[in-house]
Amino acid sequence: MAENFPVAFLFFAGAALLFAIPKGNSRAIFLLAVPVAAGLYIWSLPEGDLWTARVFNLDLELMRVDRLSRIFALIFALAAFLGNLYAWHVRDRVQQVATLLYSGSAIGAVFAGDLITLFIYWEGTAIASVFLIWARRTEGAYHTGMRYLIIQVGSGVLLLAGAALYWRETGSLAFEAMTLGSLGTWLIFLAFGIKSAFPLLHNWLQDSYPAATVTGTVILSTFTTKLAIYALARGFAGTEILIYIGAVMTVFPIFYAVIENDLRRVLVYSLNNQLGFMVVGIGIGSELALNGAVAHAFVHILYKGLLLMSMGAVLYRTGTAKGSELGGLYKTMPLTMIFCVIGAASISSFPLFSGFVAKSMVLSDTAKEGYYIIWAALLFASAGVFHHSGIKIPFFAFFAHDSGKRPKEAPWNMLLAMGIGAFLSIAIGVYPAPLYALLPYEVDYSPYSISKVVTTLQLLLFAALAFTVLVRTGIYPPELRSINLDSDWSYRMLFPRVIGAVSRAIGKIWTAMTGFALRRVNGIIAGLYRTHGPEGPLARVWPTGSMVLWIAILLAATLLISFIDLA
């Protein structure tokens, strides 16, 4: 057990040692060395429960290694390497430490064998990642980070509450397959759903990721949502409700992405869309569908990171990522443009690119299992992805019109990170066998059958034709400087306004009621003062005869009452 220590500890130790390394290239090299060492270590680990700790009479499994956890840990380590390479020029210690802690927490979570360990790392990803947003050091980034942190920590609270109830119900904290049917499992499911960006729980994604730093957005796109996909695959594979949730996830972001002007936000909506394909595969729960969901998560980290890196390079050089302010950048940023196009082809699932060999597994099994309406929705969503990420992103950034901007090409480290991502996206698409060998189940699947290739090409060509016709006829929504409202408007604007209006109304009612009560009390006090005050009738000096008369009257009244009672 001492030999196979938790991989997360390597990242945490690296974050601590970072303070002892001077700024500059030596620190940047160290940031690359940590994920490389972690990746080699993950590759060498044997399968099994490798590290157990006993805390408060509970056995915590900090290192459960199997095929599912290994493949996610490997892609997380690779993504951490590419993210740190992309951020080579960054000299901000806050971002560097946050990246190591964030990466380590995500990898620690995929190796967690129990719900308590999962919760600890789950919250670790939330706390570490928010600093990549706050590192922007603007007032808007601060408020966005606070909203993000509240939602992420809230997800952790639900997970902890669900784990406690699950332990009470079953006597076990093991993180394994669960069935929806109790409050505990529903709370755990909801915690996973928040980080998976389920419909109406998704808006933190579009709110926070584009608000992070240029390099921080690339890091953020890797870990949080894919960790949630891993958690769903581990805990709720075969849960049918996920099929319908995932189908909605694939479709609704398309409409937002089409009208969005900020190209990084377009990519985040596209990220939400791609998560839906993974959720559908997990919901189906067959070996092929689960392999497809995991493979899709693996390649998605690469090509989505590539697209966000290309738009980050554009933002870094031009100061904007808005489609209305870009265009013509292919003239001075040709390599960035090429890498962006490769990422666009990958996310669009063109044959010979990585997206095709993964997404087609989910599509094939959806039809095979008889979910034809879901299959049709996924086909529609695939065309939409090509429309807004495969065409819109490179078209409006590099070709649509000449913005007059002539920025320099991206820095060498950004180009190298994009180049590695582009190479892997093509290599996996051309030869998917190494990826298939890492998947949780044995793969008996050939993506390059004639029917699959022809169907995909027909779909993509139709989407390209539709885009061309819409642009040429002027029907396609133009890139305008605008703010598009998502459902987060409800809790960012509507609810605060409604609560404010209700509070003001209650305040007016309360003021009126207290004013009325005070007036009545003041009137009573004034009346008492008039009666009992120094000038009141009860404060006067009365003659003895008058007092005797009143006493006689009271005695007579008392005798009369007594007589009536006796009678």
Residue 358 shares a structural domain with residue 436: yes
Cβ-based neighbour number of residue 156 at 10 Å: 22
Are residues 417 and 309 in contact, defined by beta-carbon separation less than 8 angstroms? yes
* 182 and 267 part of one domain: no
Domain shared by 455 and 560, yes or no:
no
Looking at the domain assignment, is residue 133 inside a domain? yes
Helix, strand, coil in percent for the chain, rounding step 5: 75, 5, 20
* Number of DSSP helices (H) and strands (E) in the chain, helices first: 22, 2
The secondary structure element, H or E, covering residue 518 is helix 495-532
Q: Which of 275, 119, 284, 301 is nearest to 198 (CA)?
A: 275
357 and 222 share one domain:
no
* 387 belongs to a structural domain: yes
- Based on the domain organization, do 550 and 481 belong to the same domain? no
Answer yes or no: is 177 within a domain.
Answer: yes
In this structure, the answer to whether residues 23 and 162 fall within a common structural domain is: yes
Which among 223, 229, 264 is positioned nearest to 98, based on CA atoms? 223
Contacts 24+ apart (CB under 8 A), 521-528: none
- Specify whether the backbone of 56 is left (phi greater than 0), alpha (psi in -120 to 50) or beta: left
d(Cα 206, Cα 425) in Å, to the nearest integer?
A: 25
**How far separated are the first and last CA of the chain, in Å rounded?**
100
What is the number of structural domains in the chain? 3
The closest alpha carbon to 490, from 249, 269, 200, belongs to: 200
Angle at 389 between CA 388 and CA 390, to 5 degrees: 105
End-of-domain residue from the set 424, 457, 487: 487
C-alpha distances in angstroms, 349 versus 143, 190, 296, 440? 37, 30, 11, 22
**Which ranges of 330-478 would DSSP assign to H, the alpha helix?**
334-347, 354-368, 372-385, 393-394, 412-430, 433-438, 450-473
Let me know: does 7 contact 73? Beta carbons within 8 Å. Answer: yes
- From CA 84, how far away is CA 87, in angstroms rounded? 5
* Residue 503: inside a domain: no
Residue 328 inside a domain? The answer is: yes
Is the same domain home to 150 and 274? no
Are residues 374 and 456 located together in one domain of the fold?
A: yes
Using H for helix, E for strand and C for coil, what is the string for 456-503?
HHHHHHHHHHHHHHHHHHCCCCCCCCCCCCCCCHHHHHHHHHHHHHHH
Q: Of 236, 271, 304, at which residue does a domain stop?
A: 236
Q: Are residues 224 and 279 in the same domain?
A: no
Q: How far apart (Å, rounded) are the C-alpha atoms in residues 314 and 263?
A: 10
Q: Is residue 100 part of a domain?
A: yes
Same domain, 270 and 209: no
Host H or E run for residue 50? strand 48-55
Residues of the chain with pLDDT under 50: 1-2
**What residues contact 554, with CB distance under 8 A and at least 6 apart?**
none
Note the helical H segments in 171-240.
Answer: 183-195, 203-208, 214-235
The amino acid sitting at 546 is: S
Distance, in Å, from the CA atom of 429 to the CA atom of 299, rounded to the nearest integer, reads: 9
Cβ 538 vs Cβ 531: under 8 Å: yes
Contact 235, 177 (CB under 8 A): yes
Note whether residue 158 is domain-resident.
Answer: yes
- Residues 82, 85: Cα–Cα separation, whole Å: 5
Phi, psi values for residue 444, rounded to 5°? -125, 75
How many Å apart are CA 352 and CA 314, to the nearest integer?
26
In terms of domains, do 133 and 215 share one? Answer: yes
Q: Is 440 exposed, middle or buried (0-12, 13-18, 19+ CB in 10 A)?
A: buried
User: Per the domain annotation, does 375 fall within a domain?
Assistant: yes
Last residue of some domain: 178, 204, 236? 236
Range of the domain at 559: 533-567
pTM of this prediction?
0.86
- Residue 414 is predicted with a pLDDT of 96
3-state secondary structure at position 402 = coil
Q: Which residues contact 192 (CB under 8 A, 6 or more apart)?
A: 159, 228, 231, 232, 235, 236
The maximal CA–CA distance of the chain, rounded, in angstroms, is: 125
pLDDT at 1: 46
Rounded to the nearest 10 degrees, the angle between the axes of helix 67-86 and helix 25-44 is 170
Shared domain for 199 and 59, answered yes or no, is: yes
Dihedral, CA atoms, 125, 97, 51, 226, nearest 10 degrees?
Answer: 30
Residue/partner pairs of 441-444 with CB below 8 Å, 24 or more apart = 441/67, 441/287, 441/288, 441/290, 441/291, 442/287, 443/291
